[in-house]
Structure 1
Amino acid sequence: MAVVIRYVNKHVEVIERFMVVVHVATTTAACLKEAIDSLFTKYGLSVARLRGQGYDGASNMFGEFNGLKSLIMKENPYALYVHCFAHQLQLVVVVVAQANQYVCDFMWIVSSIVNTSASSCKRADKLRQLEHDRKVKLLERGEISSGRGLNQETSLARPGDTRWGSHHSTLCRIEKMWPSVIEVLQNLIDDGDRSSKGLSRTLVERMERYEFVFILLLMKRILANTNHLSTVLQEKDQNIVNAMHLINNVKCKLQKLRDSRWDILLEDVKKFCNTHSIEIINMTDNINSRSRLKRDGKNDDFSWSERMLVEQELETYIDDIISDERFEGILDLGALAKKMIETMKNRVFPLVYRMIELALLLPVATATVEKVFSAMNIVKTDLRNRIGDEWMNDSLVVYIEKDIFNTVGN
């Protein structure tokens, strides 16, 4: 279990730090809670001071009654749980897309294309070679340019419901590698076994239909918006207020796409079909309770008397900030907190500043934790498969927190 802590430092900067990888006997919520309690005790941390906890949506973490977040909130009801925004976004996009039968069928075809084209080393190598040869011809004709980071060797990516941006990446690569994918499937029709011949023929027929191209370019455009949002949500210093603004912005973009009458999209689809000799259909033809979480009035961060005063202080604070030109142009919660420090208004309005600090602490995404797991594959390899827990922890801390250890001299 990778553990990352998030806090606000004295300069009002939101900091996320990888702390440790804890060895656990099982992944049950009780075992994970016990490991966290031991870790907090070892480093002198208090669960009572915890104000936020964030995980992905696995049942042992997210469970309403026996999940890790529930066990912690039984001990400290103010450790607010935030389901990783990036994971939520990916799951929502997948579920909403699958609710449309046309898109659901399309994604099944896409998954079959990837699995069939790259299910063996021989097919994957053939696909890469075809794409390499095609790019060489395009470079010779001057239709594409070369340079650092341009036209790199690539392969089809398998889409996964819980992998950030995987669907968008898959669709982009199918569009980019279209001629090579078609040729690999055609080769299977000619030389494959009985089962692969039938499936490959079906996939080619579906790919060369107008509706497949239409949904491909439509979903690529939709997922481009959500994929950018997912990337931004994974930033370490992202705060929950910014995250909500970003989500609203993406909703507005999607609404504009819906209201744009599809002219640009249809033009792109037409151009793609003409390039790859796909028949363009005539568009004039006929084509057959939520539960609310209830909390009591208690709060460890504000005393009874402070709760009586906070509303009045907030009203005074709003009037004061509106009339102070030093606060003009501030659009971000973190920038607001820093400006309060600079103008010493955090001392004038301590309760308001405390609320801002608490909002900044809430985790937005688990990207830092995911990066730790990726780094483990670099640190603990087959050649170092007997590395002990303590040595692996020390190595991971030094590897992941480079910005700190780069400042440490020999």
Structure 2
Amino acid sequence: MDKYLIRKPRTQDSSLVQASSPVQDSSLVQDSFPVQDSSSSSKRIRVDFNLENLLSDPGLRQKISSYHPNNQDEIRRYYLAKGPCQPPMHDYPVSYFSGKPRRFRSEWYVNRNWLEYSIDKDAAFCFYCYLFGQDVGKQGGVDCIRFLLCRELAFRGHDEFQGSSDKGNFLELLQFLGDHNESINEVLQNVPKNCKLTHHDIQKDIVNAIARETSKDIITDLDNGFFSILVDESRDISVKEQMALVLRYVNKKGIIIERFLGIVYVASTTALSLKYAIDCLLCEHNLSLSKLRGQGYDGASNMQSDINGLKTLIMKENKSAFYVHCFAHQLQLTLVAVAKNHINIAEFFYVVSNLVTVVGDSCKRRDTLRDAQFAKIKEDLENGVRRSGQGLNQETSLKRPGDTRWGSYYGTILNLILMFSAVVDVFEIIEEDGLSDQKVEARSIMRDHK
């Protein structure tokens, strides 16, 4: 329709046009000259405001960029005339960093006319950075770190140089975020190279800051209430002895909550060393043993000994901290002991482990097992032996059971029952086409199962 419409240049105000043609219908006038709302106009109107209502606390102020551009210089002059917020006689609260008390001091104001303190946030600010600093917005690094932490992904790559095809999860995710966000990309492109905040030391600092804030939320949710602790060994890939501590408590809604509080390196696993590590970790988060109402560990002698065990050392300070032996650990010890002492049960699980090992020894055998199971299910469906529907006849596999998770044996046995005919087909193929030692092993296992 544009080629049939000839737009006339607007030389007069809309009110004059309406006055010169009073017989014209109002709808036609609106179609010819659409009236724009004042809020959508590109020309912003200066808004009057009271300077006395501007907040002095730097933690509560609005950004300079949030004000109208015509008012920003006036606001800057007002704050410059008023000076930085430096409350001299305030009772600064104490905060703990790495277990050490720290607090703001009014002596720091001397020869630092740029320094400000926020009573509301209990934090220090730069006065001139607030007035004249560039509002560059979010860099995106914290969001990337939070994403990687929530999904327990590694941060760094083997080659993080500029021309690398894989710089690691953090840098690649940050670049991906910049490619899809114009404001973040502008920051990444224009920020000085020494201020990108992408170095691995900066990453560790941000991770530690996130950990502290998360711990603060846990302690806030606890709200100075009673709690129990769960302690166990947590050895990492570096083979360092570490102690993991979990808080268990009831929140304000009456819901039982379990929260991981921290992991501590311990050079020794004696009861005294573990007791000292627990005291330090609780003290770091302003928690007292007087609020402890339960302690749960495994059955190791350094934990449950009635003479010098960890539970005894804690109960000497707090008799209300009752000890509960981990039920899962008790069940684990019972099942393992029964299986080892009963020859038939021990032999059965030994054969099951060997069977799973032989079937899963190579990718080719796994594919053969999968094809045999698929053919069996298809045949049963055609003969009406099996039912079809959502969630039925899903693909299953045989996983090697683990002694530390006794429930894995149960899952392995269930899958073995479902796939037994397919497993037999795989062993028959091994007896026919396998090597000599494989044929002997397959025949021996099948003879034991029969």
TM-score interval, smaller chain: 0.3 to 0.5
Q: Whose helix proportion is higher, 1 or 2? A: 1
Q: Whose strand proportion is higher, 1 or 2? A: 2
Normalized against structure 1, the TM-score is what?
0.45
Highest RCO, 1 vs 2 (Cα 8 Å, sep ≥ 6) = 1
Normalized against structure 2, the TM-score is what?
0.41
Q: Which has the larger radius of gyration?
A: 2
